[in-house]
């Protein structure tokens, strides 16, 4: 014998509404309000020779604090540099014009992010401007390969120059 009635139907409906509301709150919390509700933002660009494993939606940080995200990565067809578009929170509109940008890795195998280092210039970066001072990503595998296969003879790996005696200047 099945128990049916208005109370049971109301309880099931309320449970489903509560479950859907919980899923919506979880979705908003996990995306950090990146659905366009997050307030005003402005864009800056930065030009890098190597972006490594940097992806769109990667964080942009100053001193470890997230102030924005990477909104796009494109290739300049003329100079063959990577142009990274940064979407910065509007609260940080007063970044100095000599701010430097670098691509860093969180930990040894963590995600890549853009790290900004503000300078001391009284002029500020305007929306749409390009960050002039950049540092490309470091490819750890390539670096390890160079070290392992360089022969281990010295800093440059060239045995002829690393072991040559110093040249003395002739005395007058």
Residue at 150 is within a domain: no
Buried b / exposed e along 57-83 (16+ C-beta atoms within 10 A): ebbbbbeeeebbbbbeeeeeeeeebbb
Query: Residue 70 and residue 73: Cα distance in Å, rounded?
Result: 8
Residue at 91 is within a domain: yes
Reported as a single tens digit per residue, the pLDDT across 58-76 is 999 999 999 999 999 999 9
Q: How many folded domains does the chain comprise?
A: 1
Pair 62, 131: CB distance under 8 Å: no
Residue at 81 is within a domain: yes
Q: Which residue has the tokens 């440059």?
A: 156
Query: Residue 68 and residue 91: Cα distance in Å, rounded?
Result: 10
Helix (H) or strand (E) holding 23: helix 6-30
Banded pLDDT at 52 (limits 50, 70, 90):
confident
Residue at 2 is within a domain: no
The average pLDDT across 36-47 equals 81
Name the pTM for this structure: 0.64
113 vs 1, higher pLDDT: 113
Residue at 85 is within a domain: yes
> Whole domain around residue 115: which residue ranges?
41-138
Banded pLDDT at 161 (limits 50, 70, 90):
very low
Residue at 147 is within a domain: no
Which of 44, 54, 131 shows the shortest CA–CA distance to 87?
Answer: 44
Query: Residue 91 and residue 38: Cα distance in Å, rounded?
Result: 11
Residue at 46 is within a domain: yes
């Amino acid at each position: 014998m099945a128990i049916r009635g208005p109370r049971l139907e109301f309880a099931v409906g309320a449970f489903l509404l509560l479950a859907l509301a919980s899923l919506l709150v979880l979705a908003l919390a996990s995306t950090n309000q990146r659905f366009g509700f997050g307030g005003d933002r402005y864009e800056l660009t930065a030009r890098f020779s190597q972006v490594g494993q940097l992806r769109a939606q990667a964080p942009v940080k100053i001193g470890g604090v997230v102030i924005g995200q990477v909104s796009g990565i494109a290739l300049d067809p003329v100079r063959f540099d990577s142009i990274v578009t940064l979407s910065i929170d509007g609260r940080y509109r007063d970044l100095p014009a000599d701010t430097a940008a670098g691509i860093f890795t969180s930990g040894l195998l963590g995600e890549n992010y853009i790290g900004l280092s503000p300078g001391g210039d009284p002029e500020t970066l305007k929306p749409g401007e390009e960050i002039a001072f950049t540092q490309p990503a470091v490819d750890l595998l390539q670096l390890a390969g160079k070290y392992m296969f360089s022969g281990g003879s010295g800093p440059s790996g060239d045995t002829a120059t690393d072991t040559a005696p110093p040249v003395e200047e002739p005395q007058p």
